[in-house]
Structure 1
Amino acid sequence: MRWSIAKAVIIGLVLLSNVAVAQPLAEESLILSTQCGRFQLVLGRIKLDCFHYKKVRLHQATAAPSEDEEFLFVTANHGTPSLHYVRHLGQSKVTIDTTQNDCIRIEAKHQLPTDRTETLLIQQQASGPIEITHEIGEQSRQIQTASFWHLIAEEPELFETAVAPLLSLMFDRYRMDEFSDAIDQRLRAQAARSPEITKASVEQAVGQLADPDRRQRLAAQRQLASAGVGILPLLNQIDNKRLDAEQRQLIGKLKQRLTIDRHDTPDRVAAWLATDRGYWLRVSQDWTPQQRSDAHRYLVATCGRGLDVDPSAVAVRAPIAGH
């Protein structure tokens, strides 16, 4: 971002000042109201937008004797922003920290009427599962999930009561429940169609990346790239130890291109999850017998293994011809 010196001075005087207000803190967080740091979900993981941010240091507090306050600090290093946010409201305190490489730490503490403290800690590293620790008094649960979309399917009550309120401080474009329903509807429709991506075709194309003929290697690259984000769950199942250096390099570059920072839409997320058998196992539990039958058939063709269904309860169709 380019700023003139005059603009920087004027904006700095405004944004670096402390603001005391007599009324309660607004429901909308400083993150959303100022748009100085913009978050988005990319394949269900939190990303701080590297192209739309402003360096600020903001403090907003209510008049005494209330201790309600908000603090927002956004800075950047070589064009990569980081953010620190604190919201203290009544008996609750939320802290959000981001660092470079998409590392996110969200901690919420709430004092319960029973003199116990409820704590929720969400930690997202640059790669690997999202780790969540939920503590109420001396009771503690630890959860690992691939993305926040997976979390909705795996832990719907925890997400609705504890996680969604925190994400609402960071996002203004997502209504998570409606978004999740839209993904579910798209997967139900997808189950009734022939799959566009199969495990067998992906493994064949990956093997072709090591072909001595350069034309065959290029054809395999084009085939894999054209499959879109739906190929990612299948690529993650491939044992890298069985690949040569060039195959690993090409697959790494392909994954990087497919996970570029494009914010989630129902179509994009549904395409990504279309080959994620674990996700289907969760969401299909509430489907009708016919929909589960379609899902089983679809997953057999796509992933090589279907749902764990009872054949006496669900009449599973034969595999799709040609797969």
Structure 2
Amino acid sequence: MNVQVTYEGTPLLVERATWSGDVTQAARKLDVSLVNTVDGRTQAMRIEHGKELRLLYDGRELFRGVVFAHRIDDRGMMTVTAYDENTYLTRNYDTRKFTKMTASAIIKRLCNDFGIPVGSIADTGYVIPKLVLRDKSIWDMMTIALTYSRKQTGRRFFIYSREGRLYLSERKDAVVRWVLENGRNITSASYSQSIEDMRTQVKVIGGDPEKKPIIATAKNDALIKRFGIMQHIENVDPDMTRSQVEQRAKQLLAELGTVDDDAQVDALGNPEVVAGAAVYVRESMTGIVGGFYVSTDSHTFANGNHTMSLTLSATDDLPTLEYEPPPEPKQRKRSKGDTDNGG
């Protein structure tokens, strides 16, 4: 294992590097600790905000990002924090209206308008009738559009950064390539399960709620028999057709009718096992057995060792954000003194 961190192309004398990510966050993060002095009195290198850090693993680039914070003490010990380019998605806010556009087209437009370089952008397919988004970050706008599309089609897409560019890819059934097991590469583990957020029945309301509502209900009889009725209700875009409302109800039930489980695993490091990846786990005491998605990861490189701490889930916990249409402006009633010309 050969790990190297460079600042603007110059290798740093790093004592510790922590590379981390979360499927619900826009950007991955790199924290490094280094000795930034040669004589104990002055800095060997001036680290500037906005400059580039890269993390290389056996010559392959794992991370490319921008310095956002640094700190140094009187002994020359320095810490530097960088985020990949997708951090700018959370640092730009705007108000936008999108009409009859796919989520992928919305993402392309936002990237173009805010000068964010893009790689390949997968076609999400579904044309969203209308989105009015006020005072939202670019990340929230993209997440709302992807959530809206996923609820209609069931297709999952995720955003990530590679070599300074934004990519959008479809999350299909993940192929498990890595196995974690006690006695081999797991160093510690814990496991929990909960039905706190489970819903066994779903009601979706569309159309005009006062004159001609469209109501679709979906329920899981097996879950109701086992856990009782726990209903989720959701109001959707009034322009959606009956078939779209019914599809939304089915998709919501599939997502909400599950047992939440959470596994924490510490293991020997593998640079391929990051947030969004799939792993197979066998741990005898906790009973963790089967395929899981990585929700969060934190990789630590120090003293020639590579370890990782993972949060695992049986479900693919991609970020979601519900669309809430802004309230329609109320029409002011005309009084007898009103005239068409304002006079």
- TM-score normalised by structure 1 residue count: 0.25
Q: Greater RCO between the two (CA within 8 Å, min separation 6)?
A: 2
- TM-score normalised by structure 2 residue count: 0.24
Larger radius of gyration: 2
| Structure with higher helix content | 1
